[in-house]
Structure 1
Amino acid sequence: MVRTPQVRDLLMSAAERVAERGDAEWLLMHALGVDRAWLFAHATDPVDAASAQAFEALLQRREQGEPVAYILGRRGFWHLDLEVTPDTLIPRPETELLVELALQRMPQDVPLKVVDLGTGSGAIALALASERPQAQVTAVDVSASALQVARRNALANGLERVEFLQGDWYGPLADRQFDLIVSNPPYIEHDDAHVGQGDLRFEPRGALVSGADGLDAIRVLVTGARRHLRARGWLLMEHGWKQGPAVRALLTDDGGFTHVFTACDLEGRERVSGARFRSP
């Protein structure tokens, strides 16, 4: 007689098939419709055949390399629960540094104008809008599909006031100016082997790769910022951990900025650079 598997049996078996135990936990929580606390409080509970089969289907997708975020269709970022699809980059914890640095430059109760360029799922724009209700936040992306996801995330998180525009970087902004420009642009070199490995294989290439040195999009951001920043406004950009010196050089050589800096993520890697637009 075949014994009905328990919650812990499924987790132990899955741990031998996927590299991260946390992945198996997320997939089982999804299949059972429970949270992590329930999962461990009910480790010896039996799992019915339908739920076990659903878990097995999810597990097979993960074994084939599909990111957990795409399998679940969700990813947490800041304090938000966001929908993600293969049309959007998966929000990552290191990008929260960009949000923190932006918030430091956004005083409470001041109606600043902020734009997030290349918004994807809307993660950065929505995080800022949730923390600074008085700010006028605009989010731009070239992908209509990504903007649909971002709009749904805004509605789901009660942030309907965020404005969404479709276009390439500064293209849809005309002559509008902002107090703060933020962006997590593509910054991987086009021949970087990592693009064909792991989760990156499933993410939109246009949100990852940017020219021979990975800096094409960042050059556009730096050059265009002079037209779209108010005096003493800030430009903040995420980049690769080896690109800090090159990004600082771009900002310094432009001549329109002061207070050029780079901040490190929790692992001590240079992750976000920025500068302040000079007063005329």
Structure 2
Amino acid sequence: MSGCEPPGSEHGTSVGAFLCQAGQVLRAAAVEAPRLEARMLLAHAMGCRQEDLLRDPRAPVAPEAQARFREALAARARNVPMAHLLGHAGFWTLDLLATPATLIPRADTETLVEAALGAFPDRAVVTRLLDLGTGTGALLLACLAEFPHAFGIGVDRSPEAAALARANALRNGLAERAAIIAGDWAAALAGRFDLILSNPPYIETAAIPGLMPEVALHEPALALDGGADGLDAYRALATALPGLLAEGGKAVLELGQGQEAGVGALMRAAGLRVLGCRPDLGGIPRALIVGRV
């Protein structure tokens, strides 16, 4: 640990010493941004902001915070996702609780919110909104925040995920405009919706063990596994969407890399019209937009 104060030295329990040591631990664990993540973990353990740490690197770290930090640092070095250690993650304009019960909201998925806004320039026309496989509630709640006249329903097979989405609706002041259901996607739903969103499981079963360890080891397989070809959930969506979309309604579906043609073919075979596909920031086709013919 050259360059860091050892734990027994005069400044070994200072903010600077802990950040230096933690950066080396995370670098050795192949964490992408070790110093940034060290600051995030120490600020969380101390109950302060990251910028507070930088003002006085010689400030002492209280014993209780030291223990919390060491525990979190060891977990992060074992590839436990940062969002699980902090207990929350940002998505769109929201701050969402995050637990191992659901996928962690990702920036790529914000592409679906952008696509929904592009599909409905007049935000007042969306009054009924549905999110199939809601997870944390990220898509449902982000779109409710953008479509002020909408009431939304989120459905997830996992009761734990549904409970988390309800908590996130409360956390973000949207509980009065959202209903969260634990169930088998569209099976228990009646009526039609102006906007339907879904980030379904789309990873090929055989590919899951090769994902980055934060995902393969710590996120729920139910939310990842799309079957042998990754398209099982889209087949279910193709069956359900024609009966759920209102006249003029649109569905926005997240895609995995290389799935645009296959999913588009499934939707057309179900009698739906493919209206476009929006790429994410990396240029990968990410948000497929479909509507009734």
TM-score by length of 2: 0.89
Contiguous gaps of at least 5 residues in structure 1: none
Does structure 1 residue 47 correspond to structure 2 residue 64? no
Match of 1:7 among 3, 9, 15: 15
The answer for the alignment partner of 1:98 in structure 2 is 112
3-state SS in 1 of match to 2:204: coil
Structure 2 SS opposite 1:76: strand
How far, CA to CA, are the matches of 1:138 and 1:231 in structure 2? 18
Alignment of 1:52-67 (within 5 A): 52-67=66-81
Q: Aligned to 2:49, which of 35, 45, 54?
A: 35
Residue in 1 aligned with 2:138? 123
Label 1:79 to 1:43 Cα distance change in 2 as closer, same or farther (>3 A).
Answer: farther
What SS does the corresponding residue of 2:250 show, helix, strand or coil?
A: strand
* Equivalent pairs, count: 276
Residue 16 (structure 1) aligned with residue 24 (structure 2): yes
**2:184 counterpart residue number:** 168
Asked if structure 2 preserves the Cα contact closer than 8 Å seen for 1:141 and 1:166, the reply is yes
* Amino acid corresponding to residue 14 of structure 1 in structure 2: A
Whole-Å Cα distance in 2 between the matches of residues 192 and 8 of structure 1? 41
Structure 2 counterpart of 1:241: 257
**What is the Cα deviation at residue 150 of structure 1?**
0.7
> Are the aligned partners of 2:242 and 2:271 in contact in 1 as well (CA < 8 Å)?
no
Q: Which amino acid aligns with 1:92?
A: R
How far apart, CA to CA, are the structure 1 residues paired with 2:287 and 2:38? 32
SS at match of 2:25: coil
RMSD: 1.7
Contact 1:181–1:235 (Cα < 8 Å) also in 2 = yes
Residue 139 of structure 1 aligns to a residue whose secondary structure is strand
Letter in 1 for 2:84: Y
| d(CA) in 2 for partners of 1:258, 1:206 | 27
Residues 108-156 of structure 1: CA deviation (Å, up to 9, x unaligned): 3335211000001111111111122211111111111111111111111
Partner of 1:183: 198
Deviates more, 1:113-122 or 1:12-21: 12-21
CA distance in 2, matches of 1:193, 1:9: 38
Which stretches of structure 1, 4 residues or more, deviate above 6 A after TM superposition? none
Q: Which residue of 2 aligns with 1:199?
A: 214
The answer on whether the counterparts of 2:208 and 2:225 sit within 8 Å (CA) in structure 1 is no
| 1:72–1:116 Cα change, 3 Å | same
TM-score when scaled to structure 1? 0.93
Amino acid at match of 2:97: E
CA shift for structure 1 position 233 = 1.1
